[in-house]
Structure 1
């Protein structure tokens, strides 16, 4: 890997209308006791430790080796180290530097756009909590390397493809941030729970027993499940049943009563009410509309 790589882009109005566009990206190995930051960036990106900096765009900065300090008006001083990512937000004063005795290796990508702004306005990320730890993962590194490759090759439409990769990177960071230190365990637990639910799609399930079999309390199971899927375990199981009922309505001649019985609903009246609540159509209307 080259010690230094930088790309600063000229973005057109067409690029901006896409809703998410990359302004710059790079990587740099800062050796021990080296001067930081260097002054060979475009003017709008140069800063000194004494004055700091305010950007009009987002940045993701990944530290893959070494330690240092990050500071912003929103957070005060925070120590950062190998595997940490810090996010820079538009309009927020900040500064950062590696510890002289260690230096650091940094990768970064800067981006803007209406879609990027939604991450902030919808609360997925905020300037008060800019540090995401344990990001030195194969997935995160892969996204950065893909971006470097795209901008090296610069094939037709690469900016739009790169914007999608950067959004994937943001999604990965959000998963790490919300999943915490037990992300792998959480993924495994929820995956197993989904499998159990699907295998029991034709019957009712005891969610307390499932949680116990997975080795957690029901309250923790419910919280973790909803954190990852956006719905409670019970609602997820019911949604599975509704999706299965759609298949049966379209691909069989079974009556609504037969489908309700096959999927383990307590009555066909309950099945009809639930189906309409989830789809805004009765089973009969859905069958007529989709066939």
Structure 2
């Protein structure tokens, strides 16, 4: 049975003026590669020079920042020297460097990437801010970094005037935070902190499905009672409440900025019963979805 790969990406073209900014972004995206996947990487939509076969690898002309938020796999920087890649690792691949990578078929993985070029990045490599020999950075589960990737994807999709300058700032933050967290690994070594960050990442990446807190614990190979206790102590909110709040945040955005019906929004959030969704919304927000839309909608409805 074929497995479905969820992906979202954009390849971009920079103007001569964009190049003067010091950093330009060539591509940004993400993909959820499920366990038992058929082919990696997914072929559809990728330009010929970015597509590669894991056995043959590839060479690109820009810097690639590839973050693995869940799952595990293998990276090759030399054809016969495999490096294990785990969740919470980031690959920083300089231009004109042969490389290859692929997720473990048993686990799959969730990957985020952004490709950039420019004098600013070149100077950092040449001035010793990053070791030429280091390509794998152990930064841990970082929700803020995932948010930067997601924001970059949204900006890239719209391509509004000045978008390249915003993307360069986001790419710069991702790059800087990767170096920071890798340099301060002792700050992320605490087992409980890692569990909480991993749980939040899984919830954020799957909250539009019917995932449950118990299933989050199963994915992490952690006891649910232990995870629930640690999560509550660390965040002052339960796993279930965190999941609900993610859905409600999306619901608010859709009610304000879209013309989707209440039923369509409920279905999008994976609630089969629109009445249940409306009741849940009113309980946590203080008003019904229709009342919320009347107060804040930008669609004129």
Q: Which residue of 2 aligns with 1:252?
A: none
| Greater mean deviation of Cα atoms: 116-125 or 86-95 | 116-125
2:58, 2:98 within 8 Å by CA — same for their partners in 1? yes
Please point out which of 35, 43, 68 is paired with 1:63: 68
Q: Judge conservation of contact 1:5–1:27 (CA < 8 Å) in 2.
A: yes
- Match of residue 206 from structure 1: none
- Gapped regions of structure 1 (runs ≥ 5): 186-291
**CA distance 1:184–1:70, shift in 2 (3 Å):** closer
CA gap 1:38/1:127 in 2 versus in 1, 3 angstroms: farther
- Partner of 1:6 in structure 2? 9
Matches within 5 A, 1:223-242: none
Q: CA deviation at 1:36?
A: 0.8
Structure 1 counterpart of 2:25 = 22
Q: 1:126 aligns with which of 124, 131, 135?
A: 131
Q: Is the 8 A contact 2:25 2:168 kept in 1?
A: yes
Aligned to 1:107: 112
Residue among 161, 166, 170 paired with 1:161: 166
Corresponding residue for 1:53? 58
Q: Secondary structure at the match of 1:42?
A: coil
Q: 1:32 to 1:183 in 2, by over 3 A?
A: closer
How far apart in 2 are the matches of 1:58 and 1:75?
Answer: 23
**Residues 148 and 124 from structure 1, CA distance in 2 versus in 1: closer, same or farther, beyond 3 angstroms?**
same
> Structure 1 residues 104, 63: closer, same or farther in 2, change over 3 A?
same
Distance (whole Å) between structure 2 residues aligned to residue 102 and residue 130 of structure 1: 22
How far does residue 6 in structure 1 lie from its aligned partner after superposition?
Answer: 0.9
Which residue in 2 is equivalent to 1:94? 99
For the 8 Å contact 1:88–1:127, the answer to whether it is kept is: no
Are 1:39 and 2:29 counterparts?
no
Equivalent pair of 1:21/1:160 in contact (CA under 8 Å)? yes
Q: Is contact 1:63–1:82 with CA below 8 Å preserved after alignment?
A: yes
Residue number in structure 2 paired with 1:228? none
- Alpha-carbon contact 2:90-2:137 (below 8 Å) kept: yes
Stretches (4+) displaced over 3 A: none
Moved more, 45-54 or 146-155: 146-155
Provide closer, same or farther for how the CA distance between residues 45 and 101 of structure 1 changes in structure 2, counting only shifts above 3 A. same
Normalized against structure 1, the TM-score is what? Answer: 0.59
Q: CA deviation at 1:115?
A: 0.7
Matches within 5 A, 1:211-230: none
Please identify the structure whose Cα radius of gyration is greater: 1
**Contact 1:74–1:128 (Cα < 8 Å) also in 2:** no
Please show how residues 118-267 of structure 1 align to structure 2 within 5 Å.
118-182=123-187
- How many equivalent residue pairs? 184
Name the SS of the counterpart of 1:15 in structure 2: helix
Alpha-carbon shift at residue 150 of structure 1 (Å): 1.6
Structure 2 SS opposite 1:45: coil
For structure 2, the 5+ residue unaligned runs are 191-301
**Aligned position for 1:76:** 81
Could you tell me how far apart the structure 1 residues matched to 2:6 and 2:70 are? 13
Distance in 2 (CA, whole Å) between partners of 1:93 and 1:44 is 13
